[in-house]
Structures are given as structure tokens and as C-alpha cells.
Structure 1
């Protein structure tokens, strides 16, 4: 019971709340938030980087084409060099076969030439 009294005393000591009058809220001018898009500077920078990337891509493709063309021409020249080298080796072999001593001697006999040992000179390479 004692607690009952105490609760009554505290509640009786508090002033009664006055009804609040609803006031119109004051209009505070807040700036409208800007739309979240790209600024002109950001757009210019992105455009610049895009153009640079495009130019680099086109340059890369052009250089790749030139390199492949040069590689093809180098391969053609190498194959021609190999063919020429084979032809030269064949010609050297033919010279060796045609300049054999017995062949030269038989041709000389057919044409009525005689061998004079005093006029023979051996030439070595």
C-alpha cells in the first residue's frame, strides 16, 4: 500500500500537459539535389580516352597487317634464296661432271686434237 501512495503523490505533483497547438511547419528552402549523371568535364575525359583507345586499336591493327605482309615477303625471299642455292649446287655438280678428264680427252680425240704433255698445265682451285 505504501507503494500505492507514492505513485499517487508523484502523479499529482506533475503538471498537466497543455494541448499543443499545431503550427504550420516553416518551409525551409532546401536546394534540389542534382541528378546523378556525368558532368561535362567527365564526359569530355571519357570521350577523349575513348578516342585514344580507338586510335590505338586502329593503329595496332594497321601495324599488325604491315608486319604480316613483311613476314610474307621475307618468307618469299627465303624460298627464292633456297631455290637459287639448289640451282647453284646443281650447276656446280654439272660443271664437275662435264670437266672430267676422260670426257675432255674423248671430245678432243673426236675433233682430231692430240695431247702434248709439254703444254698441259694443271690448275687447282
Structure 2
């Protein structure tokens, strides 16, 4: 009976010594790996965030470029509208000058000064 008890004691002494040496190493490395992943970003996360940043930058630059183009186009349209308004004013001034110069009494006075006579048969009135 005594030998049996001694064998159990030796078996108990060898097992606990082997067991703690192998288990803590694997759990410590797993815990360390888990901690590293929680603290830092993975390569995939870095790649996705970099791509998102690049796309955001390109969109911002595109927005600025398009805003500048729209602004330039609006300025060009305003300049053309201002020129059109000036041409309309000039046209109305010319129409007024034509009306003043083609008055009947003025034309009749110029004809009389140049020795022309009025023949009623040859007069034609043209209306717009």
C-alpha cells in the first residue's frame, strides 16, 4: 500500500510541473495577439481607410474644380447679357434716329432745297 501511495505522489509531482509550463505560454501568446489586434489597425483596415481618404480628396478637388468652372461660366453669361443689353440700347437709338430723319416735313424740306417737286402719282407709302 505504501508503494502505491508513493507512485501516486511521484505521478502528481511530475504532472503539475509539465502542465503549467506548456499552458501559460500558449495562453500568453494568444492574449498578446488579441491585445495587439485591439490596439492597432490591420492592413485591410489601413487599406480601406486610405482608399476612403483618397476618394474623399478626389471628390473635394473635383467639387472645387467644378465650382470654379460654374463660376466662370456664370460670369461669361453675365458679360454676354450685358453686351446684349448694350446692343438693344444702341438699336433703339438707331431706330429713333431713323424715325427722326425720315419725318415727312424734313424729307419735304430737303427735296424743296434741292429743287425737287412732289408728284402725287409717284408717292408710295410703306408701312411696317
**Which of the five TM-score ranges fits, normalised by the shorter chain?**
0.7 to 0.9
SS in structure 1 of the partner of residue 20 of structure 2: coil
Count of aligned pairs between the two proteins = 103
The answer for unaligned runs of 5 or more in structure 2 is 1-15
Distance 1:60 1:54 in 2: 10
Give the corresponding residue for 2:20. Answer: 26
Give the corresponding residue for 1:44. Answer: 47
The answer for unaligned runs of 5 or more in structure 1 is 1-22
Q: Does 1:69 align with 2:72?
A: yes
Match 1:123 to one of 109, 123, 126? 126
Rg (Cα) greater in structure: 1
Give the corresponding residue for 1:3. Answer: none
What is the CA distance between 1:65 and its match in structure 2?
A: 0.4
TM-score normalised to the size of structure 2?
A: 0.76
Give the corresponding residue for 1:106. Answer: 109
C-alpha deviations, 1:32-87, integer Å up to 9, x for none? 42321000000000000000000000000000000000000000000000000000
- Give the superposed CA RMSD: 1.6
Distance 1:74 1:119 in 2: 50
TM-score normalised to the size of structure 1?
A: 0.77
